[in-house]
Chain A
């Protein structure tokens, strides 16, 4: 029997022979997955009675892949993860983890998964970090002798070893978030869901977490990770393949490199402008300019502009308009197109809100 097998290093598929079990089974698969929420009375007035969070979502994720769901807030990332984690029922469609139905085989699915949600903390303030992690492994029936080395290792990884004896209610929110992150790995899940794992962390911690994820997938080639993010650098840096989702639908799905080829014909420019004043509205309408995203860096008092040009000649005009009215150009570079550009090209909208702080962008 032959099956497709994903090779992380070469980012390609290769045939390999294996027993029937792994044959053609995706690690995570969704088929026309849809989810509708009935809104409560307060929310109803604005946006109608029901809200479609997922609309025929189709995903096929291979064993061993680190797969990214990239999309703006409200795209349906968390909703997908909740369904896959058996916390929420789909309204329509099906979803499978290692070939097991998340609705019909809930108990089997629960044994092999775990999930971390970046912005969240969990556990009991009265226990210390180690005790909390132990509690959560016990919920999976993992004996202490097996759990202990994993817990010690994870405490080290997230930089909590110094604090592992301190009661959790004495720890900062950042440290508690890291503890929650560690929790996801201590049950050694076959399939792990990371829902915006670096959200709310400072630049340094976020980088640490990302490099740990990268190491972990190399050390555990058989494990599958589904990671969601609205942070394109994260998706680009970590993921073997990325599905860009918007309004509950997959817009496009491929390796980051292949996705960026979609905007290869365009030229990307990074401009640094002094001051934080809003730019003229007319910029978007300049001929040859496909999209613009701006970022205000309050600490340096500059505005960073990323422009995608269908016509490189448009650059001159863009700079002219932008530097009018006393604004000064402080830097100009051509850059590689990003996943953000892909998103903008596909949806006509920006991935992140325009004035996200510099830490979010983390360049």
Chain B
């Protein structure tokens, strides 16, 4: 392999990442209903909680907690629907066969989806944050701005890394997972196993458990770094940052293995990659 080939490969990889991320970013600007779904609804939820807390005369820091919680919540839902479910949607749209037939590096595709998702979700989060900041006059402290920023970005990386891994799993699971995901939004139904066959429960429980870790750690670290809530924190923000960094790397690595496995299984069985037609 000559050095020139390597440069060419890296370029191609980046090109695919950018091409796929572009769809997300441009889509986010064009589609009004996405903006409402991604920004207005989480904002209203956050508002509702803030009013409840204020009515209960809860200490003022709580409203800050709720805002951060709302932001993380946005990421969480967004990651599930537009990253973990993405390969499944791609198949429904008829794109999966096009992608798999093309000579593109598979991880670049996942990374492009994740990057687009992160850019889009971050812009939404900033809007929600600013809205809450000015509507409710909540004061955040940035004593350690770089730490706060790192925590924010690494939390996103861990969440979306998880989404990248889940996307291949959900793709294999197929249509049934849809109902499972709905249920994950409503924990009661989820535990009761209302919407989905019980045999999917194992995987979903594991998913839910794993998912709680980056979201929880990220949220906790953000509260510590942005609201000075060190005394209520689980562990130190720096340690949380370290754990989240390791998780990101592991998830991204796992996603590369998973998509390879998924493609292999699909080509063998003829059922996973291809529509049943």
Interface-central residue, A35, A85, A89, A134, by most chain B CB under 10 Å: A89
Contact B103 A85 (CB under 8 A): no
Contacting pair B274 A120 (CB below 8 A): no
Number of interface residues of A (CB under 8 A): 37
> Across the interface, which residues of A come within 8 angstroms of B30, CB to CB?
126, 167
Q: Are A139 and B99 in contact (CB under 8 A)?
A: yes
- Distance, CA A333 to CA B19, complexed state (A): 57
Q: Is A127 an interface residue (CB 8 A)?
A: yes
Kindly list chain A residues whose C-beta atoms are within 8 Å of the C-beta of B98.
Answer: 122, 136, 139, 183
Nearest CB of chain B from residue A161's CB, rounded to whole Å: 21
Residues of A within 8 A of B99 (CB): 139
Within 8 A of B (CB), among A76-107: 78, 82, 85-89, 107
Determine whether the beta carbon of A113 is less than 8 Å from that of B268.
no
Smallest CB–CB gap between A148 and chain B, Å?
15
User: Given A88, A107, A122, A134, which contacts B94 in the complex, CB threshold below 8 Å?
Assistant: A122
Residue from B15, B273, B274 in contact with A141 in the complex, judged by beta carbons closer than 8 Å: B15
Given contacts A87-B274, A88-B274, A122-B95, contact A139 B267 (CB under 8 A): no
Q: How far is the CA of A141 from the CA of B273 in the complex (A)?
A: 23
Count of chain B residues with Cβ under 8 Å from any Cβ of A?
Answer: 32
Taking CB atoms, residues of chain B closer than 8 Å to A117 are 97
- Which residues does chain B contribute within 8 Å of A107, judged by CB atoms? 103
CA distance A141 to B95 in the complex (A): 17
Whether B12 is near chain A, meaning CB under 8 Å from some CB there, is yes
Min CB gap A249→B, angstroms: 19
* Residue numbers in B under 8 Å from A86 (CB-CB): 100-101, 267
A214 to B11 Cα, complex, angstroms = 36
Question: Is there an interface contact between B270 and A37, defined as CB atoms closer than 8 Å?
Answer: yes
Residues of A within 8 A of B101 (CB): 85-87, 110, 113-115
Nearest CB to that of A141 among chain B residues?
B12
Residue of B nearest to A184 (CB): B98
Given known A-B contacts A87-B273, A124-B27, A141-B15, A110 and B102 have beta carbons under 8 A apart = yes
| Cα distance, A111 to B101, chains bound together (Å) | 9
Kindly name the residue among B94, B98, B273 whose own CB sees the greatest number of chain A CB atoms within 10 A.
Answer: B98
Q: List 10 interface pairs A-B (beta carbons < 8 Å), by A numbering.
A: A85-B97, A85-B101, A86-B101, A86-B267, A123-B94, A124-B95, A127-B27, A131-B26, A134-B19, A140-B103
Q: CB within 8 Å of B: which residues of A?
A: 35, 37-38, 40, 78, 82, 85-89, 107, 110-111, 113-115, 117, 119-124, 126-127, 131, 134-136, 138-141, 167, 180, 183
